[in-house]
Amino acid sequence: MKVCIAEKPSVARDIAEVLGAKQRKEGYYEGNGYQVTWTFGHFCTLKEPHDYFDYWKYWRLEDLPMIPSSFGIKLIDNSGVQKQFKVIENLVQNCDEVINCGDAGQEGELIQRWVLLKAQCAVPIKRLWISSLTEQAIREGFTKLKESDQYNNLYAAGSARAIGDWLLGMNATRLFTKKFASGKVVLSIGRVQTPTLAMIVQRQKEINAFVSEEYWELKTIYRETEFTATIERLRNLEKANKGLAYLKEHPFEITSFEKKEGKEGNPRLFDLTALQVEANKKYGFSADDTLKYVQSLYEKKLVTYPRVDTTYLSEDLHPKIAGIMQDMTPYSALTASILAKPIPKLKSVFDDKKVTDHHAIIPTGVYPGGIGLEEKRIYDLIARRFIAAFYPECKISNTTVLGKVGQVEFKVTGKQILEPGWKEVYANDVSARKEGEEEEKVLPLFVVGETGPHTPRVHQGKTTPPKAFTEATLLRAMETAGKQVEDEEMRELLKDNGIGRPSTRANIIETLFRRKYIEKRKKNIFATQTGMDLIDTIQSELLKSPELTGIWERKLRLIEKGEYAMETFKQELIQMVVDLTIEVKTNAHKTITIAPDPPPVPEKEEPKPKEPKKAIVIEELSCPKCKEQLLKKGNTAYGCANFKVCGFKIPFEILGKKLSDKQITDLLSKGKTGKIKGLKVPGSETEKEGKLVMTADFNIEMEQ
């Protein structure tokens, strides 16, 4: 008998279906020589301090640092976990082979290995390693099962990460809490959360210290085009007015006219961070929510494995691209031009050297039916990015015009899109422009040496403070260890030194909110007084420096590649904890208190990311009858987009009453409306009050 262990019951069900293990038992499926069981997230955790020594239960400075001679694991104290573990333990001890079907990533490997370790597995172990949960991917994966030992380095990196987080988190949190906190306040310190908080605090200090200054610029309009003086901004109005008077005495002269054609490269495929950034910018989704939505899409077989940090595909995927695009029927208008020719093997998309265990997030081609609005939006981002990657480049023309008025030089730049290329995929999307990108501005043709009258003016402005972090910009800063990087090639190179992993960054940000070290005002993230005090108290650069933390992260990646010893990493961390303990114990005392909750903001706060649920867009709902097509608005009714075959429709007016979008949505999602007054029932002279109900055969009836 072969035992397969999946990471979730839903995944186990899919695997059991493919393997023919159809018989449902208590905690597993059985059949065709397989038993398919599951965990649900972390079953095991590293032992807590009191599991090693009773006296480590108490938080005392004199007991620090706590360094176990060896680290052990234990089952989580949860009755559901313990019951399911007994099932797994029993199956593992009575089988011939185990197939690890956990999530194909570092965390998934760690979860399953710890369970197998705790269950004292003594039989051979194979590894299922797949990038999507479609039936085809599962079947292919089982024909190419890997040896478990191939992933020993991945497990070592996961273990090193967990041990590192324990050593630093347990010791530093107790250390700073006992030394600097008052009352029952806990000062949480973490290997990734503290440098992340430090970046936010640093930005907060720059904003707080900023003093806005007024400035004046000289501008002039010549041939309906506004030029700006290239001299430094003027710091007082008197100088500006003198400049204006000077400009009025001289004509405008064109000194240079340069037009260059160029290209705007296609957007990269999504890794998890880029997807979280885009969803935050476009829809205000938090990083945590985006991860939940894309994980759900993965489990519904609609997209590939999401917890990835590469924007490339492996070269062996090239032959499959056309098939995926052909299956993406809702986007057939966009994919037609790509499918009309052979799919190009673009270096910006396919690169085996840039792909490790998984490739970028792309659609699987499975029809995206029956998903909620938020998931639909995330799917649409992934689908359009996938399509755009294979479109022609966008061809542009950049124009720079220089001029002068007397001795004062002026400049204007313009941009014209000559061939939209990939921008056609986003033709109806005003938010598709890259951050800081200029809008298209077509300039007239100028001739060098031409002169003429112009209309000068003084523009008054104010210097602006540095921008507060949003979740989008904070995720980017974590990815590049605080370096401001716009270039995508450079960003790829810095990923090894980023802080945290794509799959954990969302949780780190949520932890900082939960600890009240940061707060959100509209989309912006600010440090609270507690967060600022905590960072000010930490003297050790190693704890709060994104660059230094990035070095630790790089070592973890080297362990994953088998290029750095886990034991060396562990010893380095132990030394760091010892040094930190000595340093903090001898520090001057400064008490930190929890910042009070901020007073209510009078202006309407921006809603949490789940707000889009309130939007009722009936055309984005699936037909409840065939469940395959979206609904379409006609002249008198909403109906299935494939009405001729399916036949489903809901009239705008039923029993003499015009239905609201909310009532139609209730019929579609709940099968009935709330009570409606004034319904005109045939055969009755009086108007009735009742609910409209959708019957099992998809007709609408009244229920009193």
The residues annotated with a catalytic role in the active site are: 305
Backbone angles phi, psi at 490, to 5 degrees: -65, -35
- Please give the biggest Cα pair distance in the chain: 97
What CA–CA distance (Å, rounded) separates 392 from 420? 8
The token pair at 645 is 């075959």
What CA–CA distance (Å, rounded) separates 137 from 165? 34
Grouping H, G, I as helix, E, B as strand and the rest as coil, residue 132 is coil
CA atoms within 13 A on the CB side of 281: 20
Q: Name the strand (E) or helix (H) holding 689.
A: strand 688-694
What CA–CA distance (Å, rounded) separates 617 from 497? 42
Instruction: Point out which residues pair with 691 in neighbouring strands.
Output: 703
For the CA atoms of the chain, what is the radius of gyration?
31
> Quick one: three-class SS letters along 274-341?
HHHHHHHHHHCCCHHHHHHHHHHHHHCCCECCCCCCCCCECHHHHHHHHHHHHHCHHHHHHHHHHHCC
Instruction: Point out which residues pair with 125 in neighbouring strands.
Output: 98
What CA–CA distance (Å, rounded) separates 282 from 279? 5
Q: Are 534 and 512 in contact (CB under 8 A)?
A: no
Phi-psi region of 128 (alpha: psi -120 to 50; beta: other; left: phi over 0): beta
- ∠ CA 129-564-71, nearest 5°, is 80
